[in-house]
Structure 1
């Protein structure tokens, strides 16, 4: 039997157990071919609050903790001196889930021995000009790498135009979704409706999941709902600066609109299963366009029919499992909503297509296989 290859994957996000799902799934699907070691900070300050390394029994990957310095900034933090030894020895490939222009990305690139291939992951879907020293770091890391993973097709297309990227193998791979947690369960959805004071037999529920901000399109969806002659109810789940105006609008439709905030991630499947249609009306603005649309993949996994705008990565996330609409065309959104709300058969068709796409394309096992397949192609 061949000795398994040794994969070391490094990320400051691995301080949180949920973010090690990729590392753990790579260890599971690669069992016998790969052994996976996940390098995580012992603690990370981050933007919101201090985080200490979380460990869970039964993780498939080997989790190793290292010190991290200056962690108030994801751009400027560094790993401690223990990292060097973990990137050498019998390691077959190093994977850095750190952007190639940040200091930690440069650190991993410099500490990885030259004979060991380095692959980094990136989510930059907009052309940017970085100030020093980040502008100098990016080409250094790209030149040192043996390949790179783009979290989406728009990320890949954006970066292929930057110096050095086109000279390295690359692959667009989406983020994953837990298709066991996110699954069709109408009983779960019915219970959530009752908590809202609604009955299952009422008009179809148009849903939104995400931040209440202009770029996510909550105002576009609100404006599309108003002229609908087809009976509807609307459920907005999330939070953000537009909450007040959204609630004020909802007061005009007290029996038809619910605005819910503070929903924990493990309760999101309940909300999704209460929806008959999920809308992702994201709006492109000068410094932002949709990077992935996690709510789309989670909606697909729950078997919810999906309408999405043509902002950023959404058309690639949707594939042929949902309907893509012009982001600025309110009338098109109104017409599409009317069509779906009036056709249970079409909703059932989209539900089945979405679930199939989620299990085939976004399940963590599928995402992990894509990563390992790319790593193996880099190794030759």
Structure 2
């Protein structure tokens, strides 16, 4: 427990107040451990009884949790359990019953996209959907969390280690034979049998195995069978300072983990600890190992004993290469200390409570262009703010306009859609900024932009602010819209759409708050055209943000001026609607939404509306399936 408490201790050292509730006893690699006497004596630690031992099938005694959730002084709740776990569902239920309004953040290491049985996948989606932050320990887990419902941008956070314990040896290692080491559980999926077989052809190499587990006796027999009994030493389980001494005593750490249908490495803490001790690593490409090790080691295919043996033998014979890897490993491990973990978690917590930046950021304007350099000229002419033009058309005239007005020009190299273009601009920014999205067929003055930012910044929970707009004739355009939920579809179908409350602003002249961008992340690039700002705004709302309409200012927008093909435009719009519905409300939600649109459109056609043909075409479009039509349209254009 002491080693894992480095996270909370680093948070406290950074000035945060932390209270920890954890299981009194738990299974750690097949070994039952519990709170130490020091842990129990710590007033910040509460041991909680649990029932069940499976990581996904245990629950906490609800009484301490109920009491803690009643404490209104907490700013953030940190749930360090997998989203699909029964304990997570217990937490969510108790939080709801206790009417606790503190936002919560969630952890995950699961880097295989598993589909869990009911009700666990319901628990998982509910937990992820309502979380205000996520800190997976690997990139794949973060992507899976997003696909399964987390609305924001996960902060990938390492598991951490104590640099006071795991540090390089003070001087050079004494000369002698090269020693290979392994640290970890002795179980089939860890690949130790592959490692023993890989070293068999190399009599100059010895192996020290540190750890215990169900495969230990089998591994001892394998070493004897391979004629390696004298070259393989089993050192038993080590921890803390003894484990650090082990890393410093070897020349190379081998991490031979395999890939199975249900498991791959989720982090690889032993690799980080070894790198921190100045020991280079040879590991497989199982799961998160390549991203964790980076340039601090050598990566080989999982399960390939020849490649593993050749890499170990080659590195053993190349001392200068070992020194280079050792230096790189120490530097890389330095980004995964408990202090770094605390810094990343602090960012997650700050985002969860919508903590504002210390100073209001500058405004940067982003325009995604597709030809029509003439419209771009009108949009950015005279702007006093930094402008980034993302060109989805690789049009030299667009480049010329951008350069003439001092804008940053980014060639997207393909037409990936509006959201992809915006993300390209965001990735190019070196500091946080409030971002004004401006369509090429829209225009707004500098004073109005400044007023938009002031109004945005006056509301700490405002993610966006849209500018009121009118067309070239001065006719006002509708800027704020309700979210296209299944209920909203049917409300519009029966003629009650006018009573809906506007919820978000369209993206033609829309300012996005820097803090909201950091928490929500960029646009979903699955949306090619239309609904990408709807999706972003909806995700922001799930994370507790609001969307505003600016006062006492105006811009101009000539709707659809950049599009000359009504059929293509309407197809993309409907496909965006379907994509949004499926993403946020599932297949059933889309079925209900689609039915509402068809009934409403067909009804207006049948009742003889003046634009009846338009409604009939819309009903047919939704009856056929908008995304299918969009796909056919794209294939026809190729």
> Does the alignment reach a TM-score above 0.5?
yes
Distance in structure 2 (CA, Å) of the matches to 1:184 and 1:153: 28
Greater share of helix: 2
Equivalent position of 1:83 in the other structure: 65
Offset at residue 314 of structure 1 (A): 0.4
Distance in structure 2 (CA, Å) of the matches to 1:301 and 1:152: 19
Distance in structure 2 (CA, Å) of the matches to 1:69 and 1:332: 44
Say which of 183, 186, 208 aligns to 1:235.
Answer: 208
Offset at residue 186 of structure 1 (A): 6.5
CA contact (8 A) 1:300 1:351 kept: yes
Written as runs of structure 1 = structure 2, the 5 A alignment for 1:48-197 is: 48-49=31-32, 51-52=34-35, 54-56=37-39, 63-65=44-46, 67-74=48-55, 75-87=57-69, 88-112=71-95, 113=99, 115-162=101-148, 164-165=149-150, 167-185=151-169
* 1:73–1:217 Cα change, 3 Å: closer
Equivalent position of 1:202 in the other structure: 176
Offset at residue 353 of structure 1 (A): 1.0
The higher-RCO structure (CA 8 Å, 6+ apart) is: 1
Equivalent position of 1:13 in the other structure: none
Offset at residue 339 of structure 1 (A): 2.1
Offset at residue 58 of structure 1 (A): 10
Offset at residue 278 of structure 1 (A): 0.8
* 1:210–1:123 Cα change, 3 Å: same
Offset at residue 125 of structure 1 (A): 1.6
* 1:49–1:223 Cα change, 3 Å: closer
1:285 counterpart = 2:267: no
RMSD, aligned CA: 2.6
1:254-309 deviations in Å (ceiling 9; x for gaps) = 54332222334441112211111111111101111111111101111111011111
SS in 1 for 2:163: coil
Equivalent position of 2:605 in the other structure: none
Q: Find the structure with the greater CA-based Rg.
A: 2
CA contact (8 A) 1:69 1:80 kept: no
1:222-281 deviations in Å (ceiling 9; x for gaps) = 22222237x222212222333234323444235433222233444111221111111111
Equivalent position of 2:243 in the other structure: 268
1:370 counterpart = 2:344: yes
SS in 1 for 2:325: helix
Distance in structure 2 (CA, Å) of the matches to 1:331 and 1:69: 45
Say which of 256, 259, 279 aligns to 1:304.
Answer: 279
Equivalent position of 2:480 in the other structure: none
CA contact (8 A) 2:106 2:135 kept: yes
TM-score (norm 1): 0.82
Matched residue count: 345
* 1:104–1:53 Cα change, 3 Å: farther
Offset at residue 49 of structure 1 (A): 4.0
Equivalent position of 2:375 in the other structure: none
SS in 1 for 2:295: coil
1:1-29 deviations in Å (ceiling 9; x for gaps) = xxxxxxxxxxxxxxx34332211211112
The answer for unaligned runs of 5 or more in structure 2 is: 355-638
The answer for unaligned runs of 5 or more in structure 1 is: 1-15, 191-199
Distance in structure 1 (CA, Å) of the matches to 2:299 and 2:139: 16
Offset at residue 175 of structure 1 (A): 0.4
CA contact (8 A) 1:45 1:71 kept: no
